[in-house]
Amino acid sequence: MHEQFTAQEQHLIATARQFAQTHIRPHAATWERERRFPKDLHKLAGKQGLTLALLPPEHGGPGIGALAAARIAEELAAGCLSFALPLVAHNYVAWSIAMKGTPQQQARYLPPMLKGELMGNFSLTEPGAGSDAAAISTVARKTAKGWALTGRKAWNTLGPEADFFIVYAQTEPGSGAKGISLFLVNGDAPGLEREPAYDLIGGHAMRLAGLRLTDTPVPAANLLVGPGEGLKFALYAIDYARAYVASMVCGMLRSGLEEALTYVAARPAFGRHVADFQGVQWMLADVATNLEAARLLADHSIAALQRNDGTGTVAAAHAKKFATRVALEGLATCMQVMGANGMKAEYSVGRHFACAKMAQFLDGTTEVQNVVISRAMLKPYGIRA
C-alpha cells in the first residue's frame, strides 16, 4: 500500500495516525460527555497540515492526492469521527473556495483557514429537504448591495461554532435545480440565528445544529457559485463526501477491531482466554474481511472520481452503502465479544458504534445509495428506478 503514496503523503498519513493516538483517542470520550468540539485541537491539526489536505499547492496546500487525503481522514476517524468529520467538511469548504472562488474570496478566507484561525462548513440540508437537494426552499433575494437570504437549515456540522458557512439557496423560486446558488455567509451576519446543538445518541462533538436566516444580508462579492451551477457543484462534492465517509468508517471499524482483539487476547474465561475460542476468532475474522472489502471499495470509488469517467457516482454509492453497513455490523460484533464491558464508555467501540449508525445518514441514506445504484443498473434496460 505504501508504494502508491509519495514520501510526503506517507509522512502526512503517519502524522495523522500519531495525532489520533496522542491527541484524539485520550480525549474523545470527554468531548462526547461534555458535548463540545475542541477548536484548539483543530488549530494544532492545521499546523501539522491535516486540515486542508485537499488544497492545491498554489493556495498553500500540500498538493497530495485524494486517496492520501482519504487515508488521513481514516486515521483521524479511527480516533473519533466527531472530530474528523468537521475537519473533512472544513477541508471541502476550502477546496470549494480554491476551485470556484474569486481571487478576493481566496485571499480573504484561505490564509486564515490554513492557520486554523477560521473554520468553515457547508449548509445544504433543510428540515424539509434532505436527500432531495433540489427541493431546498431557502431563498436568496436580490438587493441593491447583493443578496438577502431567508430560510432554515438543518444538520449543520459545528452549527453553533463555525466561523462561516457555504449556504445553498434558491435564487429563482420555482426553478428547481437551475436556481440554486452558493453563498459565503459569515457566522456573525445579521439575521443569522444559530440553534442549539441536537441531542443525539452520539456524535455530540460534531455539534450538529440548525440555522435560521431572516433577510440575512450577503454582499454581492460573497456569491461563490451562481445559478445553473450550484446544485451540479453540490452533487460533485457529495460524491466525494460519500467516498470519504466510507474511508472514515473504515477507520472506526479498524479501531473497534483492534480494541476487541486486545480485549479478548487478555480476558480470561473458563481457564483460557476469550480469544482461544474458535467462535470468537471466526466472528472477528468476518469483521476483518469486511473491513478489507470496505476499504477496497472506498479506494476504488476515489480512483473512479479522480478519473472523472462517469463511474464515480455509482462507485461512491457502493462504497458508502457497504462500508457503513459492515461498520455498524462489525462494531456490534466487537462489542459482543467484549461482553458487557463493550458497553462501557472507557472503551471506544460503543462510541464508534453510535457514529457508524449516524454515518448511514450522512450525505445520503443507504436507501438513496440504492436509488443511485438501481438507476445505473437498470438504465441499459430502459427502466428508470
- Judge if 92 and 176 occupy the same domain: no
Tell me, yes or no, whether 97 and 138 share the same domain.
Answer: no
**For the chain, counts of helices (H) and of strands (E):** 11, 10
State whether 167 and 247 are in the same domain.
Answer: no
> 236 and 373 share a domain?
yes
Which tens digit of pLDDT belongs to each residue from 46-71?
Answer: 889 888 888 889 998 888 999 999 99
Residues 262 and 338 grouped into a single domain: yes
Q: d(Cα 342, Cα 319) in Å, to the nearest integer?
A: 27
Task: Give the C-alpha distances (Å, rounded to integers) separating 277 from 270, 274, 288.
Answer: 10, 6, 17
pTM of this structure = 0.95
Other C-beta atoms closer than 10 Å to the C-beta of 240 total: 23
Instruction: Name the one residue in this structure whose C-alpha cell is 456490534.
Output: 332
The count of domains in the chain is 3
Which of 194, 228, 262 terminates a domain? The answer is 228
User: Are both 248 and 168 inside the same structural domain?
Assistant: no
- Whole-number pLDDT of residue 36: 94
pLDDT in tens, 209-252: 999 999 999 999 999 999 888 888 888 889 999 999 999 999 99
Same-domain status, 70 and 133: no
pLDDT, tens only, 299-325: 999 999 999 999 999 999 999 999 999
Of 86, 118, 150, the last residue of a domain is 118
Looking at the chain, the whole-number percentage of residues with pLDDT higher than 70 is 99
Report which of 299, 286, 230 is spatially closest to residue 257, judged by C-alpha positions: 286
Q: For residues 256 and 348, state if they share a domain.
A: yes
CA 266 – CA 128 distance, rounded (Å): 50
Q: Give the domain CATH number at 151.
A: 2.40.110.10
Specify the pLDDT at position 330. 98
Q: How far is CA 302 from CA 51, 52, 202, 239, 385, in A?
A: 19, 17, 28, 9, 25
Q: Are residues 150 and 189 in the same domain?
A: yes
Please say which residue of 173, 199, 228 terminates a domain: 228
User: Do both 206 and 258 map to the same domain?
Assistant: no
Please tell me the predicted confidence (pLDDT) of residue 3: 59
Q: How many residues does the chain have?
A: 385
Cβ proximity of 75 and 17 under 8 Å: yes
User: Same domain for 222 and 235?
Assistant: no
pLDDT in tens, 164-191: 999 999 998 888 788 999 999 999 999 9
Same domain (yes/no): 174, 42: no
pLDDT, mean over the chain: 94
* Residues of the domain holding 177: 121-228
pLDDT of 290 reads 98
Average pLDDT estimate for 355-364: 95
- pLDDT interval class at 31 (50, 70, 90): very high
